[in-house]
Structure 1
Amino acid sequence: MNSFDGLHPVIGGRVLSVDGDGRVLLDGRRPAAGDGVARAITALVVHGLSPDAPERGIAVDQTNTSVIVDDRFVVKIVGRWAAADRAGHLLERLGDAGSDDVARVHGRVAWRHPELGESTLAIVTEYLPGAEDGWTWAVDDVVAAVERGLDGPGDPAWPSTLGAQVARIHDVLGADASPSGADAASARRDRAADALARAVAAGEGAAGERLRNRREALARDIRSLEGTAPGLEFPIHGDLHLGQVLASPDPGAADGRRYTLIDFDGDPQLDAADRERADAAARDVAHLLVSLDLISAVAQKRLGRPDDRAWSWADRARAELLAAYRAELSRAELFDAALLPGFEAEQLAAELHYADRFLPPWRYAPDAAITHRYASTNETPESPWTPPPFEPTST
């Protein structure tokens, strides 16, 4: 692994620093496409790179900065100290195992800081031309399926593909899984109960009414975590949803796509120490199952109406993904399906709370899934869920 050393090393003619809040800066600013830094980093791990190789940015809002270099490489430069240590380690493990389920890692560049120690500064991976994340390609597929009136036959096949991919990744990352602590069940229950309490406290308007009517159903699933076995844990993806799955053109694949899992940084809603902790495989699976329901909600927004056919698709997709995961997982002891109801309830509550705090336009999606999946007590008058008007902007 290549590295830079010193308090203020120079990269591509720019001075690297860490401010008092842990932000990684170049000449006092965030790195950006065109400043030459991503090219200089790539040159450390890729031989023969042209000194004037072009840089262009990836137009998404990110904690870190990702730059495409020479239309062949993606350089992910951390926004905060130690933000990519976890991802770099896990991606290298998967790369060493020959995994094609993640983008190929060309190299990792470290920074040896005299006061903070050593940490990953950047990761260089392959660039996938034409790649889109699942909030685009998966929604397009579901909208098309609903509009064609499909009911099983002709459904997109990718839920099974993703289930098998996650199983293979878990087999690699779970090779040295260890037993969870004796208090794992109560700790999981408490974490999930806290997520639900925060969502209820923050909930407002029609979404808050629907949530309060379903609080007991969600809490019942969360309480089911009390009776689960400690099981095994290992470093999972931690933030697995369809937005973390890129689809890129692949003429050799059955459906013409290659699916690649990205962003192994862990759950951004957790603090750094919690993101680093090992966890149960079922959490990744639960998050991915929840995201199928969220995709259904986004598709209904795109369609401009509630449509039960989108939920029927989600039912089939969830079953197919889970069946493929179980069939592909060679270490069956890594996965405990009894954890799924509690983890799914927690994830939906966390999604709703995140939307209430940071992204109100996203509230409709977890609201839809909760309203659809959980029984109402009807204690609070509520209006039916309907999608907001569609606008051609990112969700």
Structure 2
Amino acid sequence: MNSIISGDATVDGVRPVVGGRVLSVGDDGAVLVDGRRAAAGDGLARALARAVAGPEIGEDASERAITVDQTNVSVIVDERLMVKIVGRWSAADRSALLLDRLAAAGTEGVERLVGSVGWRHPDLGTSTLAIVTDYLPGADDGWTWAVADVVAVLDGGPEPEWPALLGARVARIHDVLGATATSSGAAAPAARLTRADDALARALASADPADGATGARLHNRRASLARDIRSLEGTAPGLEFPIHGDLHLGQVLAAPDGHGRREYTVIDFDGDPQLSADDRERSDAAARDVAHLLVSLDLVAAVAQRRLGRADDRAFAWADRARGAFLEAYRGGLTRPELFDEALVRGFCAEQLAAELHYADRFLPVWRYAPDAAITYRHSPTDDHPETPWTPPPSAPTSS
């Protein structure tokens, strides 16, 4: 039987049945469907969409998987709704809460929450099972559309306006989510420094300085990266609140608006997938979102050079201009400027570059070239290790 409670969009029990599928939670916290990871076509996403949207979603509505690898499982239902089914217990609680707050404030340019489905588990408590949002037909993420725009600029095309638009949009998101901001506390500067130091140490430990390439370039720039990271030590505690947490251009969808222009939508408020569940839930400084977005502009510049098949300094010149436009619009858009401590940006950017490279080393080696390019461009080297100039690889780009 279908265990969704009518009018409540909640399932109950240890092994509830939804859409003819048995749900369970593994010992490691994984949410399982008939003992396996959820998948498009098993009927679960359709049943969850019907629980939220009602009979306008037919019993035979189509299900289609999206092609981006994610922590959760996202399924397009009836070409109208996006159903995100959690991969692990409590993985979407944060996202559901933040999207609800943004919707209540009438925030434009973020994914529209249609509803969510909860799960009341007798042993684990209550958590979000799925989030249902509007599906945006024809949308691409920034690893596609932003890269294409940069390639066009390098071919003599117009300067894109979206860096400023995104600056204003992120400012609005922060104004809404920062309405209940609190002091980060006296221990915050030391904690930030420790986290960033650890990120750099992990990146250095997994990079061979004798390889003449990525490892050598990183180790030759460790002093510059460490210097930026040390700037966090002298910063003020400042304010913190639930930020986006994983803000990069891959989290910005561009879809045609029907009038020859694009609509940009910020998605995925689940937090940084590289952090533990507890750490993802913690509040943080607005500057971290800003730094992550700035770093992603550099990564897009690297991918654009790969698309061109050559190193081209003009790509990073574009990134410099885009960073400036984003920051100017962000500062001007904040109605609560006290939320943003710009002194944190330099250290957070260095930390994020190190984290990107370590992520690539562990999970996605074909992505190493992008943070390698950004580190090489942004940080001055020593001559401790022989190194070759950065050049883009011939393999297809893969985003983080």
Q: How does 1:178-197 map to 2 (within 5 A)?
A: 178-197=182-201
Q: How does 1:368-387 map to 2 (within 5 A)?
A: 368-387=373-392
How far did 1:223 drift? Answer: 0.6
Q: How does 1:34-73 map to 2 (within 5 A)?
A: 34-48=41-55, 49-73=57-81
CA distance in 2, matches of 1:92, 1:334: 21
TM-score normalised to the size of structure 1? 0.96
Matched, 1:223 2:230: yes
How far did 1:30 drift? Answer: 1.4
CA distance in 1, matches of 2:242, 2:351: 19
Q: How does 1:199-278 map to 2 (within 5 A)?
A: 199-204=203-208, 205=211, 206-252=213-259, 256-278=261-283
Matched, 1:140 2:148: yes
Gaps in structure 1 of 5+ consecutive residues: none
1:166 alignment partner in structure 2:
170
Matched, 1:319 2:327: no
Name the Cα RMSD after superposition: 1.2
CA distance in 2, matches of 1:156, 1:106: 31
Write the deviation string for residues 167-191 of structure 1: whole angstroms up to 9, x where unpaired: 0000000000000110111110111
The question of whether the paired residues in 1 share the 8 Å contact of 2:366 and 2:397 is answered with no
Amino acid at match of 2:137: P
1:303 alignment partner in structure 2:
308
CA distance in 2, matches of 1:192, 1:70: 44
1:84 alignment partner in structure 2:
92
Q: How does 1:282-297 map to 2 (within 5 A)?
A: 282-297=287-302
Amino acid at match of 1:162: L
Q: Which moved more, 1:60-69 or 1:112-121?
A: 60-69
CA distance in 2, matches of 1:394, 1:228: 32
How far did 1:52 drift? Answer: 1.3
2:360 alignment partner in structure 1:
355
Aligned length: 389
Gaps in structure 2 of 5+ consecutive residues: 1-7
Write the deviation string for residues 183-203 of structure 1: whole angstroms up to 9, x where unpaired: 111110111011111111111
Amino acid at match of 2:161: A
Question: Identity rate of aligned residues, in percent?
Answer: 69
CA distance in 2, matches of 1:101, 1:40: 27
3-state SS of 2:115 partner: strand
How far did 1:394 drift? Answer: 6.2
CA distance in 2, matches of 1:370, 1:339: 18
TM-score normalised to the size of structure 2? 0.95
The question of whether the paired residues in 2 share the 8 Å contact of 1:304 and 1:390 is answered with no
Q: Which moved more, 1:47-56 or 1:224-233?
A: 47-56
CA distance in 1, matches of 2:176, 2:314: 36
CA distance in 2, matches of 1:240, 1:392: 19
CA distance in 2, matches of 1:394, 1:269: 15
Amino acid at match of 2:331: R
The question of whether the paired residues in 1 share the 8 Å contact of 2:303 and 2:397 is answered with no
2:136 alignment partner in structure 1:
128
1:29 to 26, 32, 36: 36
3-state SS of 1:246 partner: strand
Compared CA separation, residues 194 and 392, structure 1 to 2 (3 A): closer
2:111 to 103, 119, 130: 103
CA distance in 1, matches of 2:309, 2:175: 41
Write the deviation string for residues 238-273 of structure 1: whole angstroms up to 9, x where unpaired: 111111110011135xx7011111111111111111
